[in-house]
Chain A
Amino acid sequence: MAVKRVGNQTVILQKPPIILESASIAGKKEGEGPLADYFDMILEDDLFGEKTWEKAESRLIREVLLKVIDKACLSYSDINYVISGDLLNQCIAASFGVRESQIPFFGVYGACSTMAESISLGSMIIDGGFADHIVCMTSSHFCSAEKQFRFPLEMGSQRPPTAQWTVTGAGAVLLSSDISGIGITKITTGYIADKGIKDANNMGAAMAPATAATIVAHFKDTGLQPDYYDMIITGDLGKFGGELCCSMVENEGYKIKDRYKDCGVLIYDLEKQDVACGGSGCGCSAVVLTSYLYQLLKEGFIKRILFVATGALLSTTSSQQGESILGIAHAVSVERIGI
């Protein structure tokens, strides 16, 4: 009997895993944004001393892994699993980033929902009694993402106002079987939603329906109301996608507007930084969670958040074959426990 399940999509963790530490590395542009003070490290050069964008992104993963383990005063051998993924084909940033560590590795792909996906899986593994320490992390890099999904960097092209800007950065959390701290209490796993959006310059609209469905499912399954949370924060819907998602959730009778935020909107100054609708990429929600949100929770400014990382599932091949962009979103409740 799956006694920890409630409703169709949600699990309640009986021994909520604790985020022992978090670490974040952000790119140069992100370091010029409003959250700069919260990052552990800001790159001066987005190549990060490497020869290619892909190697630079792997290095982001490697360094953020080291950093989170260091901050927790642990070593590689203390970590039972690392769960990671990224946007590059075959998730090479993650696999090449952790290759020296010899930590048992699960590679996952959920596009920009990867942070919530890896935390979901890591939390269930710890709650199941299979591990004491798990690192969940992800990364994205503007340049490697442009190269793979859009155009070469030096190609002259315009971005429509619904476009978003891939965040250069990586974020990691170290989950542990401790009993007090900032814990993961509930997980609502989303399903794939397809509303037929094909415009790769409007990812927010492609992901909004899946996100709204996951948020609504979370409240239905748990019986909670939005005011249980101090903040309901989505991954990278951007300004426009966030508005769509909010109104879809409100149509279902859950008033979330007063506590709704989006990581893609928080990470940049939308007026000054020329990023159209805001940030995107796996690194977007990962970096905001592991810096800004974690510190707010740690210092007690907020006590509970619903973190909903949002992903657009597509490849250049699926788009060229005329397929629409699939949306997915996973929610995790992050709460202060016993502190």
Chain B
Amino acid sequence: MEFIKVFVVGGSICLIAQLLIDFTKLTPARILVIYVTAGAILSGLGIYQKIVDFGMAGARIPLTGFGHVLVKGVIKEVDETGLLGAFTGGIKAGATGITAAILFGYVVALVFSPKPKK
């Protein structure tokens, strides 16, 4: 049951992005920006937490989940330190993802090279 929820929620979030690509003139780069922003706004409205509670990794793994992490961090810090928290909370909460991406990105780029497509 748990995995069905994860699959359906995660799959649906990806499906919506695919429909946006195929039916509108939006480029994938724009859709990623829309997704992170939409996740942040839905999180601010308290909606995304409900989606996470239901879909778990299905809501956390898509990029909307990254927007959610940023906003959750901001709100937590604002609660603890006031207005300054709006500046510190987001990146702090997203630090794991950003740091991992930079580190692994750098190492992989050192080791591997691009190959022509078939």
Contacts and interface: CB of A to CB of B under 8 A. Distances in A.
In the complex they form, do A and B come into direct contact, defined as C-beta atoms under 8 angstroms apart?
Answer: yes
Contact of A153 (B21, B25, B28, B116): B116
Interface residues of B, number: 8
Contacts of B116: 27-29, 46, 142-143, 153, 168
Contacts of B114: 143, 152-154
Interface string B34-73: 0000000000000000000000000000000000000000
A321 interface: no
Nearest to B21: A158
B117 A157 contact: no
Contacts of A157: 28
Contacts, number: 21
Where chain A touches its partner, the secondary structure class is loop
16 contacts: A27-B116, A28-B116, A29-B116, A46-B116, A142-B117, A143-B114, A143-B116, A153-B115, A153-B116, A153-B117, A154-B114, A154-B115, A157-B28, A158-B21, A168-B116, A199-B25
A274 B117 CA distance: 11
Contacts of B28: 157
Given A28-B116, A199-B25, A274-B118, 18 more contacts: A27-B116, A29-B116, A29-B118, A46-B116, A142-B116, A142-B117, A143-B114, A143-B116, A152-B114, A153-B114, A153-B115, A153-B116, A153-B117, A154-B114, A154-B115, A157-B28, A158-B21, A168-B116
A53 to B, nearest CB: 9
Interface of A: 27-29, 46, 142-143, 152-154, 157-158, 168, 199, 274
A143 B115 CA distance: 9
Contacts of B118: 29, 274
Contacts of B21: 158
A274 B116 CA distance: 14
Where chain B touches its partner, the secondary structure class is loop
A166 to B, nearest CB: 11
Contacts of A199: 25
A237 B117 CA distance: 22
A29 B116 CA distance: 10
Nearest to A160: B22
Interface in B98-114: 114
Interface in B2-37: 21, 25, 28
Contacts of B25: 199
A46 B115 CA distance: 9
A142 B115 CA distance: 11
A28 B118 CA distance: 9
Nearest to A199: B25
**Residue among B28, B116, B117 with the most chain A CB within 10 A?**
B116
A29 B118 CA distance: 7
A126 B21 CA distance: 51
Nearest to B112: A154
In the A-B complex, the 8 residue pairs with the smallest Cβ-Cβ separation, listed nearest first, are A153-B114, A46-B116, A154-B114, A143-B116, A157-B28, A142-B116, A153-B117, A152-B114
Contacts of A153: 114-117
B36 to A, nearest CB: 18
**Residue among A28, A154, A157 with the most chain B CB within 10 A?**
A154
Nearest to A27: B116
Contacts of B117: 142, 153
Contacts of A168: 116
Contacts of A46: 116
A160 to B, nearest CB: 9
A152 B29 CA distance: 13
A30 to B, nearest CB: 12
Nearest to A32: B118
Nearest to B116: A46
